[in-house]
Amino acid sequence: METNCPFCSLPPDRIIATDGPCIAFRDAFPVTPGHTLIIPRRHTPSFRDVTPDEWAAAHRLAKKLAADLQAEDPAITGFNFGINDGPAAGQTVFHCHLHLIPRRAGDHPAPKGGVRGVIPGKAHY
């Protein structure tokens, strides 16, 4: 646990799901409604240090939460699922976290290319 890490000191009432070594909670600055973060309980800045057990738990949580979100909101027809790892990739909280971002038809005028859009001009190919 890191004392300066907002995810290590997350209030328990923010946690919406757990699976062994991982927890999930809604993003405080959601890209879309339902945007959820999945993190290992153990403080580690990078996905490269996540253990196989943590990966498996994160995957199970992502699948469960995606199904739950779609059951609650049938307008959700897709997801972006990813990690920002390091300052060059846009990571701002240095506790490994996976973004599960629900997508709905029409929520972006040109969704083709998905995560390629993080680099201007690379999504349209």
pLDDT, tens digit, 9 for 90 and up, residues 25-79: 999 999 999 999 999 999 999 999 999 999 999 999 999 999 999 999 999 999 9
Cα end-to-end span (Å), the chain: 43
Q: Residue 113's domain is classified under what CATH number?
A: 3.30.428.10
Catalytic residue among 97, 99, 108, 124: 97
Is the pTM above the cut of 0.85? yes
Q: At which residue do the structure tokens 């390091």 appear?
A: 86
Contact 100, 62 (CB under 8 A): yes
In a domain, 3, yes or no: no
Range of the domain at 32: 12-118
pLDDT tens by residue, 85-110: 999 999 999 999 999 999 999 998 88
124 in active site: no
